[in-house]
Amino acid sequence: MAEHLTISPANLSAIENNLRVLSQGIDQVSSKVEVVAQEVSTTQDQVARLAEDFHAFVQADVMAKEWQRAKTEIIEVRQKLENDFGYHDEIRRLTSGILQAVDVSIVRENTIKSATEEMMLKAPRYWLAPGLVALSAWLCDNRTLAERAMMEAVKRDDNKASLYFALIARRGSRRQASGSWLQRFFSLQDPTDLDRELVVLIDAVANGIFGPEGRGFCVQQFELWLKELSERVGFAEQQRDQWANALASKAPSVGADEYPYLRKYNPDWNRLDTSLRGSRLHEALKSYFEGIFAGELIPASSLSDEVDAMLDKLVSSDFDDEALPLRRELELLELINKERGDRAAAERRFQAVKQALEQKVTFTQLVTNAAMHPQIAGATKATQRFATAMSRDWIVTAHDDLTAKNRAGVPTEIPVKIEGWEGKTRDGQNEGELVSAIDSHLRAEETKRVATIVLNPLNWVALVLGGVVALYGLFTLNWFLVILGLGAVGWHFYAKKQLEKSRGQVHQHYENLRDTCPKALKAVLAEVVDWRKDFATGDGQAEDLRKYLQSITTEQHMLTQFEAGRAVMNRA
């Protein structure tokens, strides 16, 4: 008699309970996995934005710290200048004080003698101290002491002392003595290696201090220097580069809030930034040069006042060679402060002005500094006019070079990169083509991404082995194997279900991109149109600036209030 396999209700109840527990466990795992999948999907969307925000935050933080550090260090450097060179100020003030006191005859000779000798003891190496003693001895008619003091001043700094005594003699209307000191001063000069204080002499010439004879002599020397320099190999190229750098230093920065989409989605933004600054340079330069020649120069009321101003400048800390390193540091810090912590922009501007803070310069560089960086070079507005008119042709040539170079640097096609897609546009007019291209790119990327979402081979192994184990467990009444097999089969179908969810999440992700990316692309294209117009507007002013520069007369601008006749120097 054949045996029949029977399953008792108790056995069925145990199986049902175990399957129910297994089902609940699978549901809990499914819920948790679904949450994790959602979090992973949202994380993928946020990573790029987080990276961009973090980069922007770091940049803003760096700039804020640079700005604050610059403000603090400006105070420190100024204090160091005061501590290290402040004792010179007392000596400097004595020059004008003594001269003005003698003018009104209200200070005794002994007082002047005592004050100057005391300064000599306080500044054993400073050239102006014996210069003051010489001035005092000269006023007191002590020829022997005056000559000894002059020799000591010349020994300490021949250039400054010679120019100092030339100005002093001119103030006292001793033209012959002034001319002798001027000749000595020029005999010491090398037009390729001049001290920065020569700008004081150019100031004096431009302001008409030395009279027709002295002016004619100085202008002749300037022309000889220019001739000597122009005969050197590479002079023309050097002049173009020198003036190009000086002109470029006036280029305005592009505002941080301008063209935000191009900044973000154009991988070659630095090139666009450079070109736009170059196009805006023309208007900035025209405004700058118009400011130099606008208005009337109001001369000093007397020769003595004008000479005193020149003497104050000559003996100021601006021309203390020992203070130059600190002055360079201070200039860079002040530029960082002006750029609100943007060190790169500040250093770019500093590179253009640092020549004005070199101890030794060529004559043409000194003229360039006087025209373009008067505050750093220590030049008056009269000297700016003089230097600009003298350099007119070089300025025009350098401006032409800058314009041509900037136009050549403008990209024909502007690249765009959004979410891994890359495209190009000339003028923003190919919007339809690019929108279609970015849509096709996103769909292709979606297809690739979905294609990677497949069942793991282990899932198929679980289905086959799980079925076999479950059937074997039924035949052997081994409920553990039944549950284990069914669990493996259930895991396979659960993984399959999760694949569909993952594909749906990928689809939603790319749906969002198909919505946001075309909007970003259209914003970029709109900014490309604006950028082209902005560039064209600025670049269109190049010819206006060129015409203005060419209209500057070749006659040099020099004041003539202390002489008869008109001061004119024509350049060959």
| 381, 199 Cβ separation under 8 angstroms | no
Which of the four pLDDT bands, split at 50, 70 and 90, describes residue 526? very high
pLDDT mean over 265-271 = 91
pLDDT digits (tens, 9 = 90+) for 409-467: 999 999 999 988 999 999 888 988 999 998 888 888 878 877 766 556 565 555 556 66
The helix, strand and coil proportions of the chain, stated in percent and rounded to the nearest 5, come to 75, 0, 20
- CB within 8 Å of 443: residues ≥ 6 apart: 510, 514
The mean of the pLDDT values for the chain is: 78
Which of the four pLDDT bands, split at 50, 70 and 90, describes residue 37? very low
The pTM (predicted TM-score) of the whole model is: 0.69
Which of the four pLDDT bands, split at 50, 70 and 90, describes residue 530? very high
How far is Cα 387 from Cα 366, in angstroms, rounded to an integer? 9
How far is Cα 464 from Cα 488, in angstroms, rounded to an integer? 9
Query: Alpha helix locations (H) across 105-142?
Result: 109-122, 128-139
How far is Cα 290 from Cα 283, in angstroms, rounded to an integer? 11
Domain ranges of the chain: 9-60+430-538, 190-411+541-572
pLDDT digits (tens, 9 = 90+) for 335-389: 888 777 778 777 777 776 666 666 678 888 888 988 888 888 778 888 888 889 8
Q: Answer yes or no: is pLDDT of 7 > 90.
A: no
Residue 453: per-residue pLDDT:
63
- CB within 8 Å of 424: residues ≥ 6 apart: 413, 414, 415, 416
Residue 30: per-residue pLDDT:
47
In this structure, the number of other CB atoms found within 10 A of the CB of residue 189 comes to 17
**What's 564's DSSP letter?**
S
- CB within 8 Å of 472: residues ≥ 6 apart: 478, 481, 485
pLDDT digits (tens, 9 = 90+) for 148-161: 989 999 998 898 89
Residue 399: per-residue pLDDT:
95
Structure tokens at 348: 């770019």
How far is Cα 172 from Cα 416, in angstroms, rounded to an integer? 71
How far is Cα 292 from Cα 372, in angstroms, rounded to an integer? 10
Residue 494: per-residue pLDDT:
66
pLDDT mean over 65-74 = 82
Structure tokens at 366: 């000194």
Give how far Cα 559 sits from Cα of 174, 214, 298, Å: 20, 14, 9
pLDDT digits (tens, 9 = 90+) for 463-514: 556 666 666 666 676 667 767 666 666 666 666 666 677 777 778 888 888 8
How far is Cα 49 from Cα 446, in angstroms, rounded to an integer? 20
Q: Answer yes or no: is pLDDT of 302 > 80.
A: no
Structure tokens at 42: 């949202």
How far is Cα 146 from Cα 485, in angstroms, rounded to an integer? 117
pLDDT mean over 26-45 = 49
pLDDT mean over 392-408 = 94
| 153, 134 Cβ separation under 8 angstroms | yes
